[in-house]
A and B are shown apart, each in its own frame.
Chain A
Amino acid sequence: MSTKEDRERIELLQGTLDLLILRTLVRGPAHGHAIAKAIEFNSEDVLQVEQGSLYPALHRLIKRRWIAVEAGTSENNRRAKFYRLTAAGRRQLSIETSKWDKLAGAIGRILRPAE
C-alpha cells in the first residue's frame, strides 16, 4: 500500500514541479541553476524541494519535447546549457495551467462555500 501512496505523492510533486519549470521558462531560456533559483524565489520558498530533483524533471520534459536544450554562454561568459520552452511546451503549459486553475477553483469553492 505504501508504495502506491508514494507513487501518487511523487506524481503530484512531479506534475507541480513540471508546471513550475514550464512557467519559469516562459520568460526565456535559462540554465538549470537559474531555473532552481527562480522556482525558489517565485514560490516564496513554500515549495521547498531539493535542487537535484530538478534534473529528472528537466529530462522528463525534454523527452516529451515540451522543452529543448541549446548551448550558450551564461552571464559571466561561461559555457552553459540553456533550457528553452518549445511550442508544444507552451501549449501544454496553458492546458496544465487551466487544469490547475480549475482544480484550485474547485478546491477553493469547497473550502470556502460562502463565497
Chain B
Amino acid sequence: MFRRDRMLNELQQDIAEHLERETEDNIARGMSPEEARQAARRKFGNVGRVMEDTRGVWIASWCDALFQDLRFAFRMLRKNPGFAIVAVLTLALGIGANTAIFSVVYSVLLKPLPFPDADRLLFVFDRLGQQSGAETGISFRNLESLREHNSVFAAMAGAQQHQLTLVGYGDPLEVDTAVVTADFFSVFQQRPLAGRLFLPDDSKAGAPATVILSENLWRSALHADPAILGKSLNLDKHDYTVIGVLPASFHFPKVRPANQIWIPLPQDPLFGPFMKFSGGHWLPVTARLKPGVSLAQAQAEMDTLTAELVRELPAENTGWFVRVRPLQQVLVGDVRTALLVLLAAVGLVLLIACANIANLLLSRATSRAREMAVRAALGAGRGRIIRQLLSETTVLGLFGALAGILLGEWGVRVLAGLLPESFPRLNAIHVDYLVLGFALLLSALASVAFGLAPAFLVAGSNPNANLREGGARSGQSAAGRRARSIFAAAEVAIAVVLLVAAGLLLRSFSKLTAVQPGFEADHVLQALISLPRFQYNTPRQWTAFCDELLTRVQAQPGLRDSALVAPTPISEGFINLGFDVVGDPVSSAATSRNADYVSISPNYFQVMAIPLLAGRFFDGRDAASRPPVTIISSALARQYFPNQNPLGKQLIFANAPYPSVPHEIVGVVGDVRDVNLGDDPKPMMYASMAQEPLPGALVVSRTTLDVAGATAAIRQQVAAIDKDLPVTDVFTMTGVLSDSVAEPRFRTLLLALFAAMALVLAAIGIFGVISYSVSRRTQEIGIRMALGASRNAILQLVSRETLGLVGAGLAVGIPAALAASRLLGHLLFGVSASDPLTLAAVSGTLVAVAAFAAYLPTRRATRVDPLVALRHE
C-alpha cells in the first residue's frame, strides 16, 4: 500500500520531467520553445487520462484478484452442489449450535449484571461450618453489627421476599414483595422512574408505611395512573403510601421483571417482627464493595467481625461464619458448570464438523490434483493456488456462518423456551453483536483450519507426478490418505467423549427421577392461601380460618382427602430452625441441632401417604389447649437419637413463631425430600397446626378431580369465608416434581442432542473415508476376486479398515472421556464418572453406527464385478 501511495504521489512529477526532456530534445531539433512544448504534449497524449490509467493499475490489483478468486470459488462450488450443500449444512449446524449456546453462556455467565459497577456487588451469607455447609441469610441484629463495624463496604442491605395481597384494583392480586432495609437502594444505586426511593427515615420505628412500585405493576394493575405518587395502596388490608416507581429494568431480588413492590422491613407484617430476634438466619444480605477493596480483603474483615459476633452473642453465633461471594456467581449458581459443559460440548461438535469438511475437501483436493497440476504448470505459484483453495473454503465458511447465525438465532429462541422458569437471568438471553462477532470469528477460524490442510497437501505435491498419473488415480498421496483416516478417527474419538458425557447425564437423570420423594405425588394438588396479616393478626384467628376452610373443603365432593400444610415438600420456602433436646443440652457448636419445621393438620400424612414408622399421627387430642407435641422424620431420629427410642423425648424449637416450650415426640414418619429430589432428605419436625398455626397454608388434596375443577371448588370455599382472599400457586404435585428437575432435564436433553449430532457427523466421516477407499481399491478388489477371493474375504478386508478407524477412535476417545467426565462433577447423580455400563454402551453404539455407515460402501465392494473392475481406468 505504501509503495502504491509513493508511486502515485510522484507520478505527476515524473510526467513533468518527461515532458521537459522531450521539450528540450525538440528544441535541440530546432523548434521554438513554444512549438517544442506543444509537440511534447501531443506526443505524450492526455496527461489526465495517463494519470487515471496509472492509478487504475494499482486499484485494480487487490480488489480484482479478490473478486476473481471469489467468482471462481462460487463457480467451482456451483459445479459441485452436493459437496457445497453438505459442507455448508455441516458447518451451519456446528456454528448454529455454538452461537445458540454461546448466547446463553454470554448472557448468563459473562454479561455483567444490569447494575452500576455490578462487579463490586457481593452476597453476604451465614454458613454453618468453617469449610462447607448450608448457606443461609443472617439475622437483622448481625447485619446491623456488620454494617456499623465494617470498613470494606460502601453499603450493605438485607432483602427478603414474600407476597402481599393488593385489593382495590380489580380482583385481589398477590404481588411479589421485596422487604428491604434502609440501605438497599444505595447498594444497587438505582434511580426511580418517578418519585423517590427510601430514605433512612422510612425505616425508623413509627414512620408512616411507604411503598415503591415496579413499572410492571404500575402499568398493569394500576393502569399507569399518572397521579399514583402520594396515593395509598391497600396491601394485606393495610394502607401504604406510594412514594416512587422503579423502572422495569430493575427487579432485584426477583430474577425477572414481575408485578413487584418494595417496602421497608419494619413495615412488613411477616418479617418485620423478626427484627427483634437476636438470632435466626433469615435475611439475605447484599453489599457494595468500596472502590479498590478486593474480595479477599472483604472476607478477611468478615472473619474478624465473625469472631466479634461470637463473643457478643455466643448462643446465636457459635459455629456460624459470615462469608462473601460475588453476587453474579450466586445468582448464576449451579447453572455455571452445566453451561460450561454444554459450551465445551458444542465446541467439540464444531470440531467434528470441521474435521468432516476437511475430509470432504481432502477428497475433493485429491480428485482435483490434476487440475492443480495444470495450473501450476501454467505458472500459478504455490501461494496463488493456496489462495484459490482458501478462498473456496472462505466462501463455504461465509455461507456456513450465515446459515449458522440464522440457525443460532432460531436456536436461542427454542432454548429460551426450553429453559426452566427458574433459570437465572432468563430474560437477558438473546443473540447480540458480541455473539454475532463470535460466530463470524468461529467461521473464519474454522474455514482457515479446514481449508489449510488440503491446500498445503495439494500445493506441496509434485505437479509432474500428478500430471503423469491417470485422472481417477491421481493425487492418491499417502499423506492424503493418512490425513483422511486420522480425521475420521479423531471424529470418532470426539464423538466418544460426547456420547459418554451424554450417557452419564442420561443415567443421572433417570436415577434422579426414580428417586422416591417420600410421598405419593399422583392425584395430589396444592393451592396456596395466605392470610392478610393485619386483618388476621392473632393465632386464634388463623386457627379459626384454617379450621373453617378445611371443614368446608373436605365437605366438597371429591375433596374429602384434603389437608393443610405450611410449607409443602419440594419447595424453597422451608423454615430451618435450631432445637434443643430437653435433658440433653448441646455440648458444643459443632453438635448444634437443626431441622426443617412444618406445621400440618392431623390428616396430612394420610393425604400425602407418608408412612408412620413409630408412635402415632396427630389427632383431635392435639388441640391448642393440650400439651404441645411433635412428630419427627426418620432422618432426625437417625441423626440425633441414634440407638435410642425418640418417642417421649421433648424438643424445644429455637426462634419459632411460638414460645420455646417443650414438645413431646409422639411419632416418627418416613423421610421426605424437602428441597430437591437430588438432595438427601434433611431432618424434619412437624408441629400440629391446631397448636401452632401459621398465617396461611397450602391446601393439599388427593383427588380425582381435574385441576380446574378442584381449583374452582377451593376458590369458592375460600371466597365464602372472605371474598378478598386470593387463591394462588395451584399445582399438581407431579407437576411440582417435574418442575424441580427442569434444569437437569434441560441440560441432559441438550447434551444428548449434541452427542447425537456428533454421532451422525462421525458416521458421515466414516462413510466418506470407507466409500472413498472402496472406490480407490476397486481395481485391487477386482484382481483379488479374479484370483479367487470370496465375498467374505472382501468383506473382511473392508471391515478391517472400518474397525481400524473405530478402534483408533475408541483408544483415544475412552481415556479422553474418562478425563472429561470428571469435569461433570455435581451434574452426576448416583452414577460414577467412570461408569462401566455407559462406557460399554457407548463403545457398542459406535461400532454399530460405524458398521451401519460402512454398510453401503462395503456392500459395493463385495459386489464388484472383476471383469468391470479390471477394465476400470
Q: Does A52 sit at the interface, judged by CB under 8 A?
A: yes
Name the contact of B54 in the complex, choosing from A31, A37, A56, A69 (C-beta under 8 A). Answer: A56
B794-835 contact mask (Cβ, 8 Å, vs A): 1 or 0: 000000000000000000000000000000000000000000
Whether the pair B7, A59 counts as a contact (CB closer than 8 A) is yes
Shortest Cβ distance from residue B126 to the other chain A in the assembled complex, whole angstroms:
74
Whether the pair B53, A56 counts as a contact (CB closer than 8 A) is yes
Q: Which residue of A lies closest to B3 (CB)?
A: A62
Whether the pair B58, A50 counts as a contact (CB closer than 8 A) is no
Whether the pair B17, A33 counts as a contact (CB closer than 8 A) is yes
Whether the pair A52, B47 counts as a contact (CB closer than 8 A) is yes
Q: Does B22 sit at the interface, judged by CB under 8 A?
A: yes
CB contacts under 8 Å to A, within B1-37, are 3-4, 7, 10-11, 14-15, 17-18, 21-22, 25
Given known contacts A32-B18, A59-B7, A81-B14, A52 and B45 CB-to-CB distance under 8 angstroms: yes
Q: Give bound CA distance, A52 to B18, whole Å.
A: 9
Whether the pair A55, B11 counts as a contact (CB closer than 8 A) is yes
A interface, by DSSP: helix, strand, loop or mixed? helix
B47 partner residues in chain A, CB cutoff 8 A:
52
B43-86 contact mask (Cβ, 8 Å, vs A): 1 or 0: 11111011101101110010000000000000000000000000
Whether the pair B22, A33 counts as a contact (CB closer than 8 A) is yes
Whether the pair A63, B57 counts as a contact (CB closer than 8 A) is yes
Whether the pair B21, A33 counts as a contact (CB closer than 8 A) is yes
Whether the pair A63, B58 counts as a contact (CB closer than 8 A) is yes
Q: Which residue of B lies closest to A35 (CB)?
A: B18
Whether the pair A32, B14 counts as a contact (CB closer than 8 A) is yes
Interface size class of B (residues with CB under 8 A): 20 to 34
A81 partner residues in chain B, CB cutoff 8 A:
10, 14, 17
Q: Give bound CA distance, A60 to B22, whole Å.
A: 23
Whether the pair A51, B57 counts as a contact (CB closer than 8 A) is no
Name the contact of A36 in the complex, choosing from B3, B18, B46, B51 (C-beta under 8 A). Answer: B18
Q: Give bound CA distance, A86 to B53, whole Å.
A: 23
Q: Which residue of A lies closest to B43 (CB)?
A: A51
Q: Does A80 sit at the interface, judged by CB under 8 A?
A: yes
Q: Give bound CA distance, A36 to B56, whole Å.
A: 21
Whether the pair B50, A53 counts as a contact (CB closer than 8 A) is yes
Most chain A beta carbons < 10 A, residue from B4, B18, B56, B61: B18
Shortest Cβ distance from residue A42 to the other chain B in the assembled complex, whole angstroms:
17
Q: Give bound CA distance, A60 to B58, whole Å.
A: 8
Q: Which residue of B lies closest to A50 (CB)?
A: B45
Given known contacts A52-B44, A52-B49, A81-B10, A33 and B18 CB-to-CB distance under 8 angstroms: yes
A56 partner residues in chain B, CB cutoff 8 A:
50, 53-54, 56-57
B46 partner residues in chain A, CB cutoff 8 A:
52
Q: Give bound CA distance, A72 to B11, whole Å.
A: 16
Q: Give bound CA distance, A50 to B44, whole Å.
A: 5
Q: Give bound CA distance, A52 to B50, whole Å.
A: 6
Whether the pair B49, A80 counts as a contact (CB closer than 8 A) is no
Q: Which residue of A lies closest to B8 (CB)?
A: A59
Shortest Cβ distance from residue A2 to the other chain B in the assembled complex, whole angstroms:
19
Q: Which residue of A lies closest to B62 (CB)?
A: A63
Whether the pair B58, A51 counts as a contact (CB closer than 8 A) is no
CB contacts under 8 Å to B, within A46-102, are 50-53, 55-56, 59-60, 62-63, 69, 78, 80-81
Q: Give bound CA distance, A52 to B42, whole Å.
A: 10
Shortest Cβ distance from residue B379 to the other chain A in the assembled complex, whole angstroms:
8
Shortest Cβ distance from residue B21 to the other chain A in the assembled complex, whole angstroms:
4
Name the contact of A51 in the complex, choosing from B11, B45, B51, B54 (C-beta under 8 A). Answer: B45
Whether the pair A51, B14 counts as a contact (CB closer than 8 A) is no
Q: Which residue of A lies closest to B6 (CB)?
A: A69
CB contacts under 8 Å to A, within B835-853, are none
A17-44 contact mask (Cβ, 8 Å, vs B): 1 or 0: 0000000000000011100110000000
Shortest Cβ distance from residue B25 to the other chain A in the assembled complex, whole angstroms:
8
Q: Give bound CA distance, A81 to B54, whole Å.
A: 16
B4 partner residues in chain A, CB cutoff 8 A:
63
A51 partner residues in chain B, CB cutoff 8 A:
18, 22, 43-45
B22 partner residues in chain A, CB cutoff 8 A:
33, 51
Q: Give bound CA distance, A63 to B54, whole Å.
A: 11
Q: Give bound CA distance, A62 to B11, whole Å.
A: 13
Q: Which residue of B lies closest to A74 (CB)?
A: B21
A52 partner residues in chain B, CB cutoff 8 A:
15, 44-47, 49-50
Whether the pair B7, A55 counts as a contact (CB closer than 8 A) is no
Q: Give bound CA distance, A15 to B160, whole Å.
A: 84
Shortest Cβ distance from residue A82 to the other chain B in the assembled complex, whole angstroms:
11
Q: Which residue of B lies closest to A60 (CB)?
A: B57
B15 partner residues in chain A, CB cutoff 8 A:
52, 55
Given known contacts A56-B56, A56-B57, A63-B61, A80 and B17 CB-to-CB distance under 8 angstroms: yes
Shortest Cβ distance from residue A73 to the other chain B in the assembled complex, whole angstroms:
12
Whether the pair A55, B43 counts as a contact (CB closer than 8 A) is no
Q: Give bound CA distance, A65 to B43, whole Å.
A: 28
Name the contact of A59 in the complex, choosing from B21, B25, B43, B57 (C-beta under 8 A). Answer: B57
Name the contact of B7 in the complex, choosing from A36, A50, A62, A80 (C-beta under 8 A). Answer: A62
B14 partner residues in chain A, CB cutoff 8 A:
32, 55, 81
Whether the pair A53, B10 counts as a contact (CB closer than 8 A) is no
B21 partner residues in chain A, CB cutoff 8 A:
33
A residues contacting B by CB (< 8 A) are 31-33, 36-37, 50-53, 55-56, 59-60, 62-63, 69, 78, 80-81
- A-B contacts, 7 of them at CB < 8 A, read A33-B22, A36-B18, A50-B44, A51-B44, A52-B49, A53-B45, A63-B58
B residues contacting A by CB (< 8 A) are 3-4, 7, 10-11, 14-15, 17-18, 21-22, 25, 43-47, 49-51, 53-54, 56-58, 61
Q: A50-B44, A59-B7, A62-B7 are known; give 10 further A-B pairs, CB within 8 A.
A: A32-B18, A52-B47, A55-B15, A55-B50, A55-B51, A56-B56, A59-B57, A63-B4, A80-B17, A81-B10
